[in-house]
């Protein structure tokens, strides 16, 4: 069953046609990669999923509901979590607090003046956050301040924050951008492990072919705002159109 369905989405910025009649459907439980050369419209498309941009035409349906015209926090409450290109975390707060915030948001909804209880006596949320940190391998560092972490750890923390909400769909915007080879491999392993233990539906936007072919079940290739090919990784590798638009230029 398709959990995310994109139909005829177009988006224009002034004279630039960023997205042109994009159709896409993401199967539940799959890892769907969106690849394409720079400026292909990958990030624009992702921003249409999370409420940052509204497409000029077309529809985006998630879990049977339209995502158009509703705000980012409402989309998150509906079950979509997002990992950013540069990790967006709460730098001044401890790792544990970083993970407790999304857990509170999941439990209490988008707004609640929950001012009488104490954070450190909210055992259920704290326990949940600690479990997620354990799962992702940051439990030992839970009292450290997030801003002092390495880039790789920040990325892992951001994933822990998303996972703590148990999302139906996880969007990853270039999860290994700017990472060392070792950090990239660690991230691939982590995502693979999460795929096995949690069976999450993921949409990955990625530049790095190594990452894409290690993780994806299905690939959509975007070029100049249009989906030019969609298939399994094996078949995408051999597709001449893809080679021409993307892989070919890189191989030269």
Partner 1 sequence: MFGLSRKDTLLLIFVAIITFAAPILMNPFPTESSLAQFNAGYPDLMQRFVIFGIFAIGFNILFGLTGYLSFGHAAFLGAGSYACVWMFKLLGYNILPGIILSVIVSAIFALAIGYISLRRSGIYFSILTLAFAQMSFALAYSVLGTDMFGLKGGLTNGETGLQVYNSDPQIFHSDSAPDLPHLFGIPMRTTEVVQYGAWEFQFNVGFYFCAVVMLIAFYLSIRIFRSPFGLMLRAVKTNQNRLNYTGVNTKPYALAAFVISGMYAGLAGGLLSAMDPLAGAERMQWTASGEVVLMTILGGAGTLIGPVLGAGLIKYFENIFSKINEGILKGWFEFLPDTLGDAVVWVLYFFTGSGWHLTLGLMFMLVVIFLPGGLVEGAGRLFGIGRRKKKTPASKTQAAE
Q: Which residues bind partner 1 (CB under 8 A)?
A: 50, 71-73, 76-77, 81-82, 84, 88-93, 97, 100-102, 104-106, 108-120, 122, 125, 141, 144, 148-150, 153, 161, 165
* Cβ-based nearer residue to partner 1, 116 or 252: 116
Of the candidates 101, 183, 103, which has an alpha carbon nearest to the alpha carbon of residue 149? Answer: 183
- Residues shown for the chain: 252
* Cβ-based nearer residue to partner 1, 75 or 227: 75
Residue located via tokens 């890189």: 250
CB of 111 to partner 1, least distance (A): 4
* Cβ-based nearer residue to partner 1, 120 or 252: 120
* Cβ-based nearer residue to partner 1, 71 or 192: 71
CB of 116 to partner 1, least distance (A): 6
Scored b (16 or more CB within 10 A) or e, 141-156 reads bbeeebeebeebbbbb
CB of 113 to partner 1, least distance (A): 5
Torsions phi, psi of 100, nearest 5? -70, -30
* Cβ-based nearer residue to partner 1, 83 or 223: 83
Q: Which residues contact 144 (CB under 8 A, 6 or more apart)?
A: 94, 95
What is the rounded distance in angstroms from the CA atom of residue 71 to the CA atom of residue 141?
33
Structure tokens at 45: 């498309």
CB of 175 to partner 1, least distance (A): 15
For residue 166, give the 3-state DSSP assignment: coil
* Cβ-based nearer residue to partner 1, 42 or 154: 154
Question: Strand locations in 104-233, DSSP E?
Answer: 169-173, 201-205, 218-223, 226-231
* DSSP 8-class letter at 167: -
CB of 62 to partner 1, least distance (A): 14
CB of 170 to partner 1, least distance (A): 12
């Amino acid at each position: 069953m398709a959990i995310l369905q994109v139909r005829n989405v177009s988006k224009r910025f002034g004279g630039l046609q960023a997205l042109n009649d994009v159709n896409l459907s993401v199967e539940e439980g799959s890892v769907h990669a969106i690849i394409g050369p720079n400026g292909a419209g990958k990030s624009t498309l992702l921003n249409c999923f999370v409420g940052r941009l509204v497409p000029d035409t077309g529809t985006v349906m998630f879990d049977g509901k339209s995502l158009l015209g509703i705000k980012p926090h409402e989309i998150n409450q509906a079950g979509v979590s997002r990992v950013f290109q540069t990790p967006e975390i709460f730098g001044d707060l401890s790792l544990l607090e970083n993970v407790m915030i999304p857990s509170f948001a999941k439990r209490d909804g988008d707004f609640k003046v929950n001012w009488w209880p104490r954070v450190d006596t909210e055992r259920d949320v704290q326990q949940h956050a600690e479990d997620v940190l354990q799962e992702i391998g940051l439990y030992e560092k839970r009292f450290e301040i997030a801003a002092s972490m390495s880039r790789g750890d920040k990325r892992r923390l951001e994933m822990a924050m998303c996972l703590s909400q148990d999302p139906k769909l996880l969007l990853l915007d270039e999860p290994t951008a700017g990472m060392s080879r070792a950090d990239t491999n660690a991230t691939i392993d982590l995502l693979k492990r999460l795929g096995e233990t949690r069976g999450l539906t993921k949409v990955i936007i990625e530049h790095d072919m190594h990452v894409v072919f290690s993780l994806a079940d299905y690939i959509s290739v975007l070029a100049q705002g249009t989906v030019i090919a969609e298939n399994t990784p094996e078949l995408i590798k051999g597709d001449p159109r893809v080679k021409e638009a993307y892989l070919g230029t890189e191989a030269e």
